[in-house]
Chains A and B, each alone.
Chain A
């Protein structure tokens, strides 16, 4: 099944979105936590170490109770999601990994995956998180 857009263009778009987004996300998480939910869709879901959080209100409460953080991203990869899976809603899979120190806790490795969907306005495209999966990674060597 051929993609209407050139594959290279899809990949470039995905990479650009992923890089910009990841920078904004972790900066907001660390320094402007209160507005982090602006990066999520209304019905977005987060699975945080196996805990489910659904919807903006629950997300806002969750991020409010999460201690302050210092994230360091060491790995980043992304892929355009095949339209067979996305019902023609442009989606990018972004996967990150690195370390995080939550206030009062020791530094830990983490993995995080996002599904970003594009919300297009006449002037630009805004990417928002449709789903988010976060887990501490306890196997990695320090």
Chain B
């Protein structure tokens, strides 16, 4: 038989003979499951029972650091439990087998410090006095200074395992339908003793642990499974460990999902996390740039780009794109739309993948190379973009890339949709190129129709256009010169333009 005695390879029988600490027959064994805290206690114990060839009664189940531990009597029980080691598989990960270590030990606390029969009788009488049958409530506040118990020289220190165990046994026998248990002011430092409460007093729904010495919420985990509706914890050091009330409440509710009242306060009805969240959305803010330098870079870029775009010859845009850039355009797909929308000018180039499934077409409609792109851009009618409407989000940047989206509106100045206002969102991915300018590598454009009611005040501020009337294709480079001059001289863009012209 494979021995998995923890840290010890002697046969069990010899261990028993050597273990004469308490001299009593029917030796005790300590059973440890490392990382036992991970598992649901009921599942764990049931699994062990199922795999164990001998039925057993676990005594003083408690948690030690991350492990679970309990005691059993009789060597035969202990051997049977050793055999269970690595036979039970973790519920979640089928490959993980749970070890069970068994070693001889002294008798558990609750047995060693067991109350004598006459003490148990007095305890019962004391508890009966403190029991309110109408409310099914047991008030054990300050039990250690109860005059009856003190008078009989009985120390019921509930923090001690044996005392808590005796109390729970008394409750189990005499108050089988207990609803409310008050353990306030009993100098409780830990709740190991209460881990049996689920077996001994399962009907308890109201528990008062206030004014004790509990330092961690983790203690409450020892009572997991108890269907508490009301809990009192105030006056324990653990209450001060939370940054705010809602974190505190959430931590408690995690362990007792059906909790309705905490520290005397009604909690909102516990349904799912989603219902708890407020229906209030974060307020919407304007453009986000990240930092001022990038803000000016991007705004200048947009100003230059749309100046060229709007003032007639879009061929000038070819200087803004990387040789191998990509561009695509999309308009909305409304299955219910009966008539062709006024966005028909854009329709043939639209690459809405929700509608377009043909892989070949998907490649074709993605314009690749700056020539193709500019060719496509020159097709739609003349536009006037409303710079004042622009909301810009700079949402990704690295040393090699800036990624930003522009939302705004523009008006069509000619063609069948003359006067129509469109909304657009354009996402640019650009890489730095030379002195404070950008090359576009990816350009994605969404265009929508705008609700006519919203167009009243739209398109009021056109993009500032330079005063030169002829637009040569090297206009972009000229703008870069303007920019450089502006930065060096400290003047703003328009004035720089004027200066350069004046000095030609």
Q: C-beta contact mask, A1-26 vs B, less than 8 Å → 1, else 0? A: 11100011001100100110000000
Instruction: Indicate whether A75 sits within 8 Å of B395 (C-beta atoms), given known contacts A82-B322, A82-B324, A82-B325.
Output: no
A102 smallest CB distance to B (angstroms): 6
Instruction: Check: B210 CB closer than 8 A to any chain A CB.
Output: no
Of A76, A80, A104, A135, the residue contacting B407 (CB under 8 A) is A135
Chain A residue contacts of B394, Cβ below 8 A: 47
Instruction: Check: A42 CB closer than 8 A to any chain B CB.
Output: no
Q: Which of B1-9, B30-38, B100-108, B397-405 contacts A (4 or more CB under 8 A)?
A: B397-405
B393 smallest CB distance to A (angstroms): 5
Chain B residue contacts of A87, Cβ below 8 A: 398, 400
Instruction: Indicate whether A111 sits within 8 Å of B446 (C-beta atoms), given known contacts A47-B393, A76-B354.
Output: yes
Bound-state Cα–Cα, A142 to B366, Å:
28
Bound-state Cα–Cα, A114 to B277, Å:
26
B70 smallest CB distance to A (angstroms): 34
Bound-state Cα–Cα, A84 to B284, Å:
33
Instruction: Indicate whether A115 sits within 8 Å of B403 (C-beta atoms), given known contacts A67-B278, A74-B333, A97-B332.
Output: yes
Establish whether residues A47 and B278, one from each chain, have CB atoms under 8 Å apart when the complex forms.
Answer: no
Establish whether residues B441 and A82, one from each chain, have CB atoms under 8 Å apart when the complex forms.
Answer: yes
Chain B residue contacts of A1, Cβ below 8 A: 323-324
Q: Which of B43-51, B111-119, B374-382, B448-456 contacts A (4 or more CB under 8 A)?
A: B448-456
Of B283, B409, B431, B449, the residue contacting A85 (CB under 8 A) is B431
Chain A residue contacts of B407, Cβ below 8 A: 111, 135, 137, 139
Instruction: Check: A77 CB closer than 8 A to any chain B CB.
Output: yes
A37 smallest CB distance to B (angstroms): 14
Instruction: Check: B282 CB closer than 8 A to any chain A CB.
Output: yes
Instruction: Check: A28 CB closer than 8 A to any chain B CB.
Output: no
Bound-state Cα–Cα, A80 to B368, Å:
11
Bound-state Cα–Cα, A45 to B95, Å:
36
Instruction: Check: A103 CB closer than 8 A to any chain B CB.
Output: yes
A47 smallest CB distance to B (angstroms): 5
Establish whether residues B274 and A84, one from each chain, have CB atoms under 8 Å apart when the complex forms.
Answer: no
Residue from A8, A93, A102, A136 with most neighbouring chain B CB atoms (10 Å)? A93
Interface residues of B in 8-42 (CB under 8 A from A): none
Q: C-beta contact mask, B90-131 vs A, less than 8 Å → 1, else 0? A: 000000000000000000000000000000000000000000
Bound-state Cα–Cα, A104 to B330, Å:
31
Establish whether residues A105 and B322, one from each chain, have CB atoms under 8 Å apart when the complex forms.
Answer: no
Nearest chain A residue, comparing its CB with the CB of B327: A79
Chain B residue contacts of A78, Cβ below 8 A: 353
Nearest chain A residue, comparing its CB with the CB of B360: A8
Establish whether residues A76 and B287, one from each chain, have CB atoms under 8 Å apart when the complex forms.
Answer: no
B141 smallest CB distance to A (angstroms): 38
Establish whether residues B328 and A81, one from each chain, have CB atoms under 8 Å apart when the complex forms.
Answer: no
Chain B residue contacts of A2, Cβ below 8 A: 324
Instruction: Check: A59 CB closer than 8 A to any chain B CB.
Output: no
Q: C-beta contact mask, A92-131 vs B, less than 8 Å → 1, else 0? A: 0101010000111100000101010000000000000011
Establish whether residues A75 and B391, one from each chain, have CB atoms under 8 Å apart when the complex forms.
Answer: no
Instruction: Indicate whether A50 sits within 8 Å of B288 (C-beta atoms), given known contacts A74-B333, A75-B354, A76-B352.
Output: yes
Bound-state Cα–Cα, A110 to B140, Å:
59
Q: Which of B142-150, B170-178, B421-429, B466-474 contacts A (4 or more CB under 8 A)?
A: B421-429
Bound-state Cα–Cα, A140 to B322, Å:
31
List residues of A whose CB falls within 8 A of some B CB. Answer: 1-3, 7-8, 11-12, 15, 18-19, 33-34, 45, 47-52, 64-68, 73-82, 84-87, 93, 95, 97, 102-105, 111, 113, 115, 130-133, 135-142
8 A-B contact pairs sorted by A residue (CB < 8 Å): A1-B324, A67-B277, A77-B352, A82-B322, A87-B398, A97-B330, A135-B393, A139-B450
Q: Lowest 8 A-B CB distances belong to which pairs?
A: A104-B279, A50-B285, A139-B423, A131-B396, A133-B395, A85-B401, A82-B441, A49-B284
List residues of B whose CB falls within 8 A of some A CB. Answer: 273-274, 277-288, 322-326, 328, 330-334, 351-354, 359, 362-363, 366, 368, 391, 393-396, 398, 400-401, 403, 405, 407, 409, 423, 425, 427, 429-431, 441-442, 444, 446, 448-452, 454
Q: A12-B359, A12-B363, A111-B405 are in contact. List 15 more A-B contacts (CB 8 A).
A: A1-B323, A45-B395, A47-B288, A47-B395, A51-B285, A73-B354, A77-B328, A77-B351, A82-B431, A85-B401, A95-B444, A104-B278, A113-B395, A135-B393, A139-B450
